[in-house]
Amino acid sequence: MHLHEILFWFLSFMAIVCALGVILSRNPVKSVLFLIATFFSISGHYVLMNAQFLAVVNIIVYAGAIMVLFLFVIMLMNLNADAEPQKSRLVQMAAVLSGGALFLVIIAALRTVDLNNKAMITSEGDLGLIHNLGMVLFKEYVLPFELSSVLFLAAMVGAMVIGKKEEVIQNP
């Protein structure tokens, strides 16, 4: 086994175990920490595919910004107690069954699909480096890039309007 394969299996195992930890742990803070570990292993996969720009952005945006936001909200609400009410056993069983059934159905559908079987995902090629991605982003996708700034502005205003304390409306 090459180093590439060992890293692939290790990162895959870590991603799946940590994802299971997200949905199985009772404490929401532990769920957030497991999700951060999942994001780090997905970033490791990006590095293995030589998509280094996305790996760094994934760590900065997801593990750095979004998960800190989740952690702040959980700690502000003081939810880090283990006393979360659980759904009934029947509903949990149905959830696991339907998720597993979806998994099986898509695997059965994809098993015979005519993919390019010789396509090996290697860590060669400089496709995901910042030079190439920047050329594509600022040549072909410059309008969506600018529109995303409007989206962020709208999200920021929306979050502030929703999150501010309601003032008592005085009837005239």
Residues 102-131 touching other proteins, rule: CB under 8 A, are 102-103, 106-107, 110, 115-117, 119-122, 125, 127-128
Residue 107 or 172 with smaller CB distance to other proteins: 107
Q: Return the number of the residue (85 or 172) whose C-beta is nearest other proteins.
A: 85
> Cα Rg for the chain, rounded, in angstroms?
21
Counting contacts by CB under 8 A, is residue 5 touching other proteins? yes
Q: Cβ closer to other proteins: 91 or 171?
A: 91
Least distance (Å) from other proteins to the CB of residue 159?
4
- In the complex, minimum distance from the CB of residue 12 to other proteins, in angstroms, rounded to a whole number: 5
**Of 23, 75, 80, 81, the one binding other proteins by CB under 8 A:** 23
Q: How far is CA 124 from the centre of its chain?
A: 25
In whole angstroms, how close is the CB of 61 to other proteins at the nearest point?
5
- Closest to 14 (Cα-Cα) out of 46, 36, 43, 37: 37
Interface with other proteins includes 172 (CB under 8 A)? no
For 2, phi and psi rounded to 5 degrees? Answer: -80, 170
Contact assessment for residue 42 and residue 58, using Cβ atoms and an 8 Å cutoff: yes
Kindly state the smallest distance separating residue 125's Cβ from other proteins, in Å.
7
Q: How would DSSP label each residue in 9-53?
A: HHHHHHHHHHHHHHHH-SSHHHHHHHHHHHHHHHHHHHHHTT-HH
Q: Burial-class residue 22 by CB neighbours within 10 Å (0-12, 13-18, 19+).
A: middle
Distances (CA, A) of 3 to 6, 12, 37, 44: 5, 14, 21, 13
Of residues 33-92, those binding other proteins (CB under 8 A): 35, 38-39, 42, 45-46, 49-51, 53-54, 57-58, 61-62, 65-66, 69-70, 73-74, 76-77, 79, 84-87, 91-92
